[in-house]
Chain A
Amino acid sequence: MDENKQTGKVTGVNGNMVSVAFDDQVTQNEVAFVVIEDGTRLKSEVIRVRGREADLQVFESTTGVKVGDHVDFTGELLSVELGPGLLTQVYDGLQNPLPELAKQTDYFLKRGLYVYPLNREKLWDYTPVAKVGAVLKAGDTLGTVPEGIFSHRIMLPFAWQGEWTVQETIAAGQYNIDTVVAKVSNGSETRNVTMVQRWPVKIPLTCYKVKLLARDPLITQVRIIDTFFPVAKGGTFCTPGPFGAGKTVLQHALAQRSEADIVIVAACGERAGEVVEILTEFPHLDDPRTGRHLIDRTIIICNTSSMPVAAREASIYTSVTLAEYYRQMGLNVLLLADSTSRWAQALRELSGRLEEIPGEEAFPAYLESRVASFYERAGLVRLESGETGSITICGAVSPAGGNFEEPVTQATLKVVGSFLALSRDRANARRYPSIRSNPGPSTTASSIARKSTAHARCFATETRSGR
């Protein structure tokens, strides 16, 4: 154990929140491990510091934690690994590959078991792009490896400031992700670049030139959406609805048939069964545009309703960071978050334990700004290379009682571009998709000329009534 790393002792346990006394210094959002008697290490995150006491949200069950237990602070923010091998993976909210975990334990998720997100042994076909002497900045391409049908770019780490000159670069060949593919120098130090880098999930990745206005539609192949409620490539939309209105079936349809390059599904606090459907079916379903299996363009982040609540937040941020990574490669990413309400509820639980003054319906006062900053990370951007990439975010919302006048739905409506409200009445009458809303004018081009759709709207029964 590094002597420079902080340690502390547990002073209190309240559900998934643990209070810790420490001596020197800790950082907000720093990752720490609570070590219980039998040696199990529980991953946690610092969410409040007051004097010499820190409050941590624990990403596991806290059964067995005692006052006096040891805590190790890592000095690092909650981060993800970015590199080849992300596609086709099924991760939990902390980027542990679930199939890997399943190999190591029995049927159940074992506490304190954390695994590398990316396979260290697999060999990738690397082709160098940047030559010796090239001057690079963060996000510039050093080389590429094929991942599915994509050219996965190995980029200069986003955290590195300034200009770096390539000193050495390896030849084309088969290497694993920890191989040093290049050495770069900025004049005062030389660093090694491998195929993997890390990025803290709560910090937006903004390594692009400029954000553009999202205008062109993302074709979903769902008629009612593309024709009447089109979604912009790089835009944001939400699907609020009561239970039983068909939210998840719609999200699965979007995951399967939308014309996006990459699809990231963040299963946040919802049923495990729904994720299992994707896991089981996508490897066998074809994407007609590419001829490959759907799973080849998909990443699943899965923190279901019975998995630790604190990790729901991690799943939301992990998924959007992975989306930002692929956007950097000039790809169009669709991120489906089902459901953002569960994240909001996790925030509410924690806020209660922190004894913060509650806002409406006991949600924290900062709910709106958190929701807004999440959706803000979507967008159509122009990269330094001149290419464009985009992230389109679709957030499902599960309002209590199906009533849209609640804080999470309202906070979401304030920031998203379109709103596909699902109606239980339509679902009960078996009219699917049960989309019923009629939002304001859209700036996105529909798949059909505007005049025709306006004309057809005169006839549309559901779209105006809200039945």
Chain B
Amino acid sequence: MLRDGNEVGQMMKVVGEEGTPTADFVKYLKAEFLDSVYLQQNTFDPIDSACGAERQEYMFDKLLTVLDKSFDFEDKGKARSYFQNLRQEFIDWNYTPWDSIDFHEAEKKIDALLAQA
């Protein structure tokens, strides 16, 4: 049964991180990741503030590959680290102009990271 990222978050408050299976924990990390890189947006940055429909679609597709991917982490610490790195790459990607060289460079980094896990 698919558990809601939020539900996992709530459960963790009760049973603690050590009482949470790694698979559920990854679900929680995925939810936080979606929030940090997609739901949140920097209205004060000239690039991140204006995300046109085209870019949204492109980004979202990439995001879905992350959300759908099944990961196999040794432990929760490694899972957390991985997602922090992935988040960092996505955030940097958000600040590159659409379809520019920097944009594609940043995308390559993300793809590489995804290929590793």
Residues of A within 8 A of B (CB): 219, 221-224, 226-228, 249-250, 252-253, 256-257, 288, 431-433, 435, 447-448, 452, 455-456, 458-465, 467
Contacts and interface: CB of A to CB of B under 8 A. Distances in A.
Interface string B43-75: 100000111110011011001100110000000
B56 A257 contact: no
A432 B57 contact: no
Given A221-B52, A448-B56, 15 more contacts: A219-B52, A224-B39, A249-B43, A257-B50, A432-B40, A432-B41, A433-B43, A447-B57, A452-B60, A456-B60, A459-B30, A459-B31, A460-B39, A463-B39, A464-B4
A143 B111 CA distance: 56
Main secondary structure of the interface of B (DSSP, over half): helix
Contacts of B43: 249-250, 252-253, 432-433
Contacts of A465: 6, 10
12 contacts: A226-B56, A228-B39, A249-B43, A432-B40, A447-B57, A448-B57, A456-B64, A460-B34, A460-B35, A462-B35, A463-B39, A464-B4
B92 interface: no
Interface of B: 2, 4-6, 9-10, 27, 30-32, 34-35, 38-43, 49-53, 56-57, 59-60, 63-64, 67-68
B12 to A, nearest CB: 12
Main secondary structure of the interface of A (DSSP, over half): helix
Contact of A221 (B10, B51, B63, B67): B51
Contacts of B56: 223, 226-227, 447-448
A458 B8 CA distance: 11
Q: Which of A223, A256, A433, A459 has the most CB of B within 10 A?
A: A459
B4 A431 contact: no
A228 B38 CA distance: 11
Q: Which of B4, B32, B39, B52 has the most CB of A within 10 A?
A: B39
Nearest to B39: A224
B50 A461 contact: no
A219 B53 contact: yes
Given A222-B51, A432-B40, A464 B60 contact: no
Nearest to B63: A456
Contacts of B49: 221, 253, 256-257
Contact of B53 (A433, A447, A462, A467): A447
Q: Which of A249, A253, A458 has the most CB of B within 10 A?
A: A458
B57 A458 contact: no
A252 to B, nearest CB: 8
Contact of B5 (A249, A250, A461): A461
Contacts of A432: 40-43
A460 B2 CA distance: 13
Nearest to B28: A461
A460 B35 CA distance: 7
B60 A227 contact: yes
Contacts of B50: 221, 257, 288
